[in-house]
Structures are given as structure tokens and as C-alpha cells.
Amino acid sequence: MTSAKEEVAVFGGGCFWCTEAVFESLRGVRSVMPGYAGGTVPHPTYEQVCTGETGYAEVSKIVFDPSVIAYDDLLTVFFASHDPASLNRQGNDVGTQYRSVIFYTTPEQKTAAETFIKKLNEEGKPVVPERAYCQFVINPKLEK
């Protein structure tokens, strides 16, 4: 449950443990919960999602205070912390569950995400959305 000063953003950018660590470090982010979204199988297991046949993507649900951090700032971090031009892949992780995806929770988020993506595409930065590996890439992402 969120208060009047909280909103929810849901982003999928590959391994949810990697993106979780990036967002947890931001001031104004109250919580980050990894999970799955966008699929059709009720209550899927990790093993089911890994088959790539459930339609789910690995995502992070981010509860944030918009008076401290703007949704556009979260979009900036999201697009800087993964390769949005890589279809169904992030680094060594391959499959539809690792796709780049945004699940907006308000009409304003939808508009902001579409505007942000359009701007990136116009700048020539193509965007796809519609274990040891994580440790190896998290620190550079946090520094960035």
C-alpha cells in the first residue's frame, strides 16, 4: 500500500537483482521489490519464467516519493542501467524474461515513458521496450 506521497514504478531491464541494487541506492526510493510481470501463468515459479514461455519479464517494483525523486529521474536511471536496444537479452542473460519493459501505473507515467523513449530514439539511441554476473556488473552501474 502506498501513501499519498508515494507512487509505484515497474521496470524490467534484465536480471531483477541487478536493477534492484541500482534503484535501492536512490534518495526518495522507499522500497524495491523484484518479481515478474506481464505474463499469463498464475503464480509462476522461477523455473517456469526461465523457460521463456510464460510471457513474464523479470521486473522491479519501485515505491518512491515523487516529491524527492521524479519519475523522469527514475526513467533516466532505468535507461542508463541496462541496454534498452538489446532485444530479449542483458549481458549473459538471454530470453524474453530479460526484455526491456516499462509497466506504467498511471496515465502520466505512460506519457512520460513514451516521451522519454521518443527523445532517446530521436537522439539515435534506439530503445526496444514495449549470480556472479550481477556482482560483476552492479558496481559499474551504481557508479554510472
Give the pLDDT of residue 85. Answer: 67
Give the pLDDT of residue 4. Answer: 65
**Per-domain residue ranges for the chain?**
7-143
Residue 15 is among the residues annotated as catalytic for this protein: yes
Give the pLDDT of residue 87. Answer: 65
Give the long-range contacts of residues 20-23, CB within 8 A, separation 24 or more. 20/60, 21/134, 21/138, 21/141, 21/142, 22/77, 22/81, 22/138, 22/141, 22/142, 23/60, 23/62, 23/74, 23/77
Check residue 105 and report its DSSP letter.
Answer: S
pTM, entire model: 0.80
Give the pLDDT of residue 3. Answer: 55
Per-residue pLDDT of the chain (144 residues), as tens digits, is: 555 689 999 998 877 767 777 899 899 999 999 988 888 889 999 899 888 888 888 889 999 999 999 999 999 999 888 767 666 666 667 767 778 889 989 999 999 999 998 998 888 887 777 533 333 344 444 444
> What is the CATH class of 7-143?
alpha beta
Give the pLDDT of residue 57. Answer: 86
Give the pLDDT of residue 70. Answer: 96
- Catalytic residue among 15, 18, 50, 134, which? 15
